[in-house]
Amino acid sequence: MRTVFALVLLCLSTLVNAQTWPSRPLRYIVPFTPGAFNDTLGRTISTELSKTLGQPMVVENRPGGNTIIGTEIAAKSPPDGYTLYGAALPFSVIQSLYKTSFDVTKDFAPITLAGISANLLVANPSFPANNVKELIAYAKANPGKVNYGTSGNGTSVHLSMELFKTMTQTFMLHIPYKGSAPVVADLLAGQVDIMFDNVPNVIGHVRAGKLKALAVSTAQRSALAPDVPTVAEAGVPGYELAVWFGVLAPAGTPRDIIGRLNTEIAKVLNSAEITDRFAKQGVEVRTSTPEQFGEFVRAEVMRWAKVVKDAGIKAD
């Protein structure tokens, strides 16, 4: 009888909290440093939701541990609707590389997918290959001679190349860096042969003739580089990697709060102003229902677990 009474009280408490929500400031956890698009997304959402929800929303940058630090903080936060978490593609890979105290598919409540972007495969102008087929042929003829830079293990930049290597059965030397900027600098200087990077990070160098673009990682061409073929078009059928961004909350957050957040965030992201602003940064706004985003995350986790295993990727 006491157990039933306790459950009734819990349900009533949850209902009351949901009805009065939000009654205090919210926080939006970003597991990256300021300046990355995930941070831009969080600040855009926070600014607009502060207006519609009538409460301040503060962005907390919690980088470190290949996003593990910020992700763990979010996973262990109270499921009361006052903590949001900005996820990106590395969220799919954490558990395949590290032992964590959380489970990304069980300890989070999906709210919505937010956007999709592409990575661009670029090379130093002096590199012998001028397209994907030539790159594959050159790499196979010179195993281990081609090097590629990444912004670290488990990043979309790294995973793009690991997927490429797995699908083309090529061996190229991995040079991990702490961030994308130093890789690009060495690529421009000819110390690195090739790399995948977010389109906005390298498209200026391509247009200036300082780098040559071989392909984009997504299934469709990028609006910022419409003349550059996809990897699949260029010679690797079935290749596709989309750099995604999304919003989640701790598991157990009341469903009506999740629904309200989904509605409000979708309004913000689908506004003409935000859609246009993000498009200029190479990000296509793409929202979803919580259920659709949950299915998307689970599929991504399974997909990258296989890639990590097949490619033998190890944690830093």
* Co-location of 142 and 187 in the same domain: yes
Q: Rounded to whole angstroms, what are the CA distances from 311 to 91, 97, 143, 162, 219?
A: 18, 12, 16, 7, 22
Longest distance between any two alpha carbons in the chain, whole Å = 77
Q: Is 5 contained in some domain?
A: no
* Co-location of 123 and 229 in the same domain: yes
Residue 54: exposure state from Cβ atoms within 10 A (0-12, 13-18, ≥19): exposed
* Co-location of 48 and 130 in the same domain: no
Q: Is 9 contained in some domain?
A: no
210: left (phi over 0), alpha (psi -120 to 50) or beta: alpha
What confidence score (pLDDT) does residue 307 get? 85
Q: Is 216 contained in some domain?
A: yes
* Co-location of 109 and 249 in the same domain: yes
Q: Is 3 contained in some domain?
A: no
What confidence score (pLDDT) does residue 3 get? 55
Distance CA 230, CA 219 (A): 6
Average pLDDT, integer, range 142-152: 93
Residue 16: exposure state from Cβ atoms within 10 A (0-12, 13-18, ≥19): exposed
* Co-location of 142 and 99 in the same domain: no
* Co-location of 103 and 127 in the same domain: no
pTM above threshold 0.75: yes
Where is the domain boundary, 191, 217, 234? 234
Q: How far is CA 237 from the centre of its chain?
A: 23
pLDDT-based confidence at residue 179 (cuts at 50, 70, 90): confident
We report the CATH number of the domain holding residue 264 as 3.40.190.150
Q: Is 295 contained in some domain?
A: yes
Instruction: Examine the pLDDT at 207 and tell me if it is beyond 60.
Output: yes
Counting the structural domains of the chain, the total is 2
We report the CATH number of the domain holding residue 134 as 3.40.190.10
* Co-location of 98 and 205 in the same domain: no
- Cβ-contact 45, 247 below 8 angstroms: yes
Percent of the chain whose predicted confidence (pLDDT) is above 90: 75
* Co-location of 175 and 130 in the same domain: yes
Tokens of 119: 């990575």
- Count of alpha carbons within 13 angstroms of residue 103, beta-carbon side: 6
* Co-location of 213 and 250 in the same domain: no
Residue 91: exposure state from Cβ atoms within 10 A (0-12, 13-18, ≥19): buried
Q: Which of 66-70, 163-167, 254-258, 280-284 is modeled with the greatest confidence?
A: 254-258
Tokens of 220: 């469709």
Q: Is 210 contained in some domain?
A: yes
Where is the domain boundary, 234, 265, 298? 234
Q: What is the pLDDT of residues 58-113, one digit of tens each?
A: 999 998 888 899 999 999 999 999 999 999 998 999 988 888 999 999 999 999 99
Tokens of 111: 């709210």
154: containing domain: 119-234
* Co-location of 107 and 59 in the same domain: yes
Q: Is 10 contained in some domain?
A: no
Q: Is 258 contained in some domain?
A: yes
* Co-location of 289 and 143 in the same domain: no
